[in-house]
Amino acid sequence: MSYTPLEDYGIIGNQETVALVGRDGAIDWCCLPSIDSPSVFAAILDDQRGGRFTVQPTASFESLQEYVDRTNVLKTRFRTASGRATVTDFMPVPPLARDCQTPMETVFRRLTCERGQVELRVDFAPRFEYARTMPTVEPTKDGVVTQGANEQMFLSSSIPLSVSTHSAGTTTTLEEGDTHWLVLGYGHESTLESDYYREILDDVVDYWRDWVHTCPDTGACPVGGPWHRTVVRSALVLKLLINHETGAICAAPTMSLPEDIGGVRNWDYRYNWIRDSAFTVRALTELGHSAEARDYFNLCLDHCSRGPPSDINPIYGVHGNPVPDERTLDHLSGYRGSAPVRVGNAATDQHQVDVYGELIHGIYETTRYGATIEEDDWTAMCDLIDYMCEAWEEPDAGIWEMRTDCQQFVYSKVMCWVALDRGLRIVAETGFDAPTERWEACRREIKETVLEKGYSEMADSFVSTFGDDDRLDATSLLIPLVGFLPADDSRVQSTIDATLDRLLVDDGLVMRYEGDDGLPGEEGAFLLCSFWLVSALAQSGRVDEAEAIFEDARQHASPLGLLSEEVDPEEGLQLGNVPQAFSHLGLINGALALSDGPDIGHPPDEADVNPSAETDVAKNLQCSATPDYTTQSRSESENQ
């Protein structure tokens, strides 16, 4: 079999794990019981030995995927010469799993024939422990059980299955109106009850529709207009990536999908990066999902109290556990031959001083939406902020997690400034004790140093590291967005212009940076950077330019509205782990920036803090109307 293009996958999940379902009807990636557990299907990383769970017609077919309106319930529709059939895939969500007898670690696949007659092939071939274990498969009363590596899965089926040593399958002919169920349970067996399964499906659909952002008829929606549908889908993607117990957002549900086809830029992203915090809070709260934003707020506070500030890692597991040591899985060939396949992430041991600013900024942003910092929490935060007075001068690996020697990254210094700046604002608004004179002096010193060493007259732009004469970095676009300089500052505007001239490539795509990063090969354009550019332009009042880039960038979403980490600028193909939380967060915040225009909310200059004005920004939008948000096929969505 050949590898499925990344844009031809949909996702389903239960807020604990995610499965990738191809447009060909194959589940090619799934980790159970959690998103960072070893895989049970990994054909996306090795189409020969990785393992998959396929349901598809035996004859030639055309197919498309769509989500049930305003949900994460996925339909794969097949059309053959003889008829039409649909596979509906979903997993139970936490509230329903608690209220019924179906555990969360369950994948439902409903097979339905809508017209004519369709012969379907079922092929169940799990492979445990990243395909290192070839499990046994044996028949049961209602299906099969597969065992190996101290793991056990049951597949209950209303269709009789034939069993071989390591797989099970069958072919079956569906007539118009026929429905069958395949129910995969990790560690448990499901009794075949079709009526009960239909009730679960209805409840899952209701859950997503109750959760999803809707907006009133009054025109008060923060993302009303042509991008509404796209933003809603991005929020639904994010919800699948948010762990229901901890509130941590997983950067992506996949690992080792390449940034360079055939190359070595293959990383495991199934973890929570602290730096997502500030981007997450605004995106969720503006869309009315205040509970998720508060959960993330509490997670940020927990990070502050993990121990000495110097011990904070940039990455954690979604349950707060340490990220595993990075290692390679040499028995897997990699997506389209892109090896090595890596599991774990060595970046967890890197020194990244920017994460302190992002952590404090995330907490501060949540207070602007009504959250309260307790005095005990402030003690830990105060220690962390004060640590910036010592650590800001240290070289680090930076936001892009360079695997070269540590450097003096401009963005890292800006975020150290942000940590001190937001700390001072919190003190001004709460009256908490803090060494404010020390912080003010350090904040001023950082700013003066960045303006002196981080801006290049030669490039007429902020640059990547201190001392660079001409190396651009898209992180400079965040300088106005975090309030380091106002958007109308000439240095901000010249940096935006330099980015447009040198980092922007065709179709709204923006490269991360210029220069060597210590790794062989080339990467694609980074979608998050496109949305940073949109936000910077919008905040500058250059709304027409921002809208044009936003429109171009969002066209790189899959037919289902899913965004990868990167895009190949030449071929337009998605690259990297997918779907990427950072990309979807960027899209939402870009749309919010376009809706707000130059008045986008950001902290005032440090010399003019007005706590009461900050408090006025707080809002928790609750919307009521229910417009149609169905994710459609490519041909339909491109015409909207």
CATH of the domain at 204: 2.70.98.10
Burial class (CB in 10 A: 0-12, 13-18, 19+), 520: exposed
Q: Is residue 144 part of a domain?
A: yes
In the predicted model, what is the mean pLDDT of residues 460-485? 96
**pLDDT averaged over the chain?**
90
**How many helices and strands (H and E) does the chain possess?**
17, 24
Give the long-range contacts of residues 218-225, CB within 8 A, separation 24 or more: 220/621, 220/623, 221/621, 221/623, 222/286, 222/287, 222/592, 222/595, 222/596, 222/621, 223/286, 223/287, 223/588, 223/591, 223/592, 223/595, 224/595, 225/595
Which is it for strands 315-316 and 52-57: parallel, antiparallel or unpaired?
A: unpaired
In the predicted model, what is the mean pLDDT of residues 203-209? 95
Are 294 and 368 a contacting pair, CB within 8 Å? Answer: no
User: How far apart are the C-alpha atoms of 559 and 563, rounded to whole Å?
Assistant: 10
User: How far apart are the C-alpha atoms of 484 and 486, rounded to whole Å?
Assistant: 7
Token digits of residue 344: 């774990």
Which range (364-378, 382-396, 508-522, 625-639) has the least confidence?
Answer: 625-639
Q: Are both 470 and 535 inside the same structural domain?
A: yes
Which pLDDT belongs to residue 639?
A: 31
Q: Count other Cβ atoms within 10 Å, centred on residue 176.
A: 14
What are the pLDDT digits (tens) for 260-300?
999 999 999 999 999 887 678 888 888 989 888 888 889 88
User: How far apart are the C-alpha atoms of 225 and 246, rounded to whole Å?
Assistant: 33
Given the structure tokens 């797989």, which residue do they identify? 167
Buried b (16+ CB within 10 A) or exposed e, 484-497: bbebeeebbbbbbe
Q: Is residue 419 part of a domain?
A: no
Q: Are both 265 and 182 inside the same structural domain?
A: no
From 155, 179, 211, the end of a domain falls on 211
Exposure on the CB side of residue 110, measured as CA atoms within 13 A: 22
Q: Is residue 111 part of a domain?
A: yes
Burial class (CB in 10 A: 0-12, 13-18, 19+), 588: buried
Q: Side chain identity at 414, as an amino acid letter?
A: V
Which is it for strands 52-57 and 106-125: parallel, antiparallel or unpaired?
A: antiparallel
Give me the helix-helix angle, 354-368 and 277-286, nearest 10°: 20
Report the CATH number at residue 470: 1.50.10.10
Token digits of residue 51: 């393992």
Q: Is residue 251 part of a domain?
A: yes
C-alpha to C-alpha distances, 518 to 202, 400, 401, 522, nearest whole angstrom: 51, 12, 11, 11
Q: Decide if pLDDT at 95 tops 90.
A: no
Binned at pLDDT 50, 70 and 90, residue 613 comes out as very low
Q: Are both 37 and 135 inside the same structural domain?
A: yes
Which range (12-26, 304-318, 414-428) has the least confidence?
Answer: 304-318
CA R_g for the chain: 25
What kind and span of H or E run contains 83?
strand 83-90
Burial class (CB in 10 A: 0-12, 13-18, 19+), 62: exposed
Handedness of CA 167, 158, 253, 321 (dihedral sign): negative
pTM summary value: 0.92
Alpha helical stretches, state H, 305-346: none
Q: Are both 158 and 253 inside the same structural domain?
A: no
Find residue 125's DSSP bridge partners: 52
Binned at pLDDT 50, 70 and 90, residue 307 comes out as confident
C-alpha to C-alpha distances, 6 to 130, 259, 578, nearest whole angstrom: 19, 12, 7
Q: Is residue 613 part of a domain?
A: no
Q: Are both 189 and 237 inside the same structural domain?
A: no
Largest CA distance in the chain: 78
Which pLDDT belongs to residue 29?
A: 98
Q: Are both 195 and 280 inside the same structural domain?
A: no
Q: Is residue 68 part of a domain?
A: yes
Burial class (CB in 10 A: 0-12, 13-18, 19+), 630: middle
C-alpha to C-alpha distances, 181 to 26, 34, 55, 59, 96, nearest whole angstrom: 15, 24, 11, 21, 19
Are 423 and 381 a contacting pair, CB within 8 Å? Answer: yes
Binned at pLDDT 50, 70 and 90, residue 224 comes out as confident
Q: Is residue 619 part of a domain?
A: no
Q: Is residue 115 part of a domain?
A: yes
Q: Are both 144 and 249 inside the same structural domain?
A: no
Which pLDDT belongs to residue 217?
A: 60
More confident residue, 434 or 301: 434
Q: Are both 173 and 262 inside the same structural domain?
A: no
Exposure on the CB side of residue 448, measured as CA atoms within 13 A: 6
By residue range, what is the domain housing residue 40? 6-211
What are the pLDDT digits (tens) for 241-265?
999 999 999 999 999 999 999 999 9
Q: Are both 18 and 96 inside the same structural domain?
A: yes
Q: Count other Cβ atoms within 10 Å, centred on residue 276.
A: 22
Which pLDDT belongs to residue 630?
A: 28
The residue among 436, 426, 422 whose CA lies nearest residue 277 is: 422
Which pLDDT belongs to residue 614?
A: 31
The residue among 28, 57, 254, 36 whose CA lies nearest residue 126 is: 28
The residue among 358, 369, 183 whose CA lies nearest residue 278 is: 358
Q: Are both 530 and 595 inside the same structural domain?
A: yes
From 157, 181, 211, the end of a domain falls on 211
User: How far apart are the C-alpha atoms of 539 and 532, rounded to whole Å?
Assistant: 11
Binned at pLDDT 50, 70 and 90, residue 597 comes out as low
Q: Are both 37 and 92 inside the same structural domain?
A: yes
Are 512 and 532 a contacting pair, CB within 8 Å? Answer: no
What are the pLDDT digits (tens) for 503-540?
999 889 999 999 888 788 889 999 999 999 999 999 99
Q: Are both 482 and 601 inside the same structural domain?
A: yes
How many domains are contained in the chain? Answer: 2
Which pLDDT belongs to residue 32?
A: 97
